[in-house]
Amino acid sequence: MRTNWVSVLLAVMIAVSAVTWVRADEPAPKDQPAPKITMPTVVQPNELRSYKVSVAIKGCVGVMDSNPLLVDAVNTMRVQHQYGKREGDGLLMLDISALDVQVTINGEKVPTSPDQYPKLTLLLDKSWKVNKIFGIDSVRDAGQVPGLGYANLILLFSIPDADKPHAIGESWISKVKLPGKSDEVTIKSTIKSVVETGGAKTASVHQDYDWGEQKLDAGRSVKSAAAVDSTFDLASGKLLKSHAECQLSFSEPTQAKPENRQYKATSKIDVSFGK
């Protein structure tokens, strides 16, 4: 009887070992490909969107009579986006207006002129790229202010090629040039995460902007680069908030003093949806 019990136990152990060997020989399951997401841009006809915007710049932005022009300024405003209806040519009108502008320079509030932040009218094609811009020529110093600013702030409000499938953590490169502007910016976009709250999904996106070297006036040049972190509504592509930091490295080789030939400034922009 004892012999039969030992025989049964050995048979069970052999069967278990055989199963283990078979499983060990089976190939390990392959990693599943990361799911890809798309973020379309959806705007209702005549939709009005309002944003709080803060633009700060600090550092040296030029040299006058051998003296560095140091600035520490903060501009706050309410920016309205008024969309129209897409016409037969496929273009959608977007009016951009800056309201309640407050300018503080070196801690003191200063008056602003209407031409500093004039109304801009954009025509957007079906891929949401800017086809034309009206009013940009009247922006004060529009051709001399590098990096991100009022004249090209529209860049923050959409992610190039976000309507195409991309995996979380994936990066892609886009080149964007606004009409009427000579400079082209290279944008590297990365979807960092997707979060669902109360049934609504939002996407966190990091972007790196690079304008390369731009020629300014009087022999000056500047290299501009910006890091941008934004949150978008995944279903509509609506910008909910954004923070951008732009590094401006100026070069002015015509200056007599060596210390004045290179100087830097930093600009920070914060955008949040809502009144």
Nearest to 71 by CA among 239, 266, 255: 266
Is residue 7's pLDDT more than 60? Answer: no
Is residue 188's pLDDT more than 90? Answer: yes
- pTM of the entire predicted model: 0.83
pLDDT, tens digit, 9 for 90 and up, residues 111-161:
887 678 899 999 999 889 999 999 887 665 554 567 898 889 999 999 999
Does residue 57 contact residue 73 with C-beta atoms inside 8 Å?
Answer: yes
Residue range 31-46: average pLDDT? Answer: 85
What is the reported pLDDT for 2? 44
pLDDT: is 214 or 77 the higher one? 77
Q: CA–CA separation, 41 vs 205, rounded Å? A: 15
pLDDT band at residue 32 under the 50/70/90 scheme: low
Q: CA–CA separation, 128 vs 158, rounded Å? A: 8
Domains, the chain, ordered by start:
36-273 (2.30.230)
Q: CA–CA separation, 139 vs 118, rounded Å? A: 6
Q: Which of 38-47, 140-149, 222-231, 243-252 has the lowest mean pLDDT?
A: 140-149
What is the reported pLDDT for 6? 40
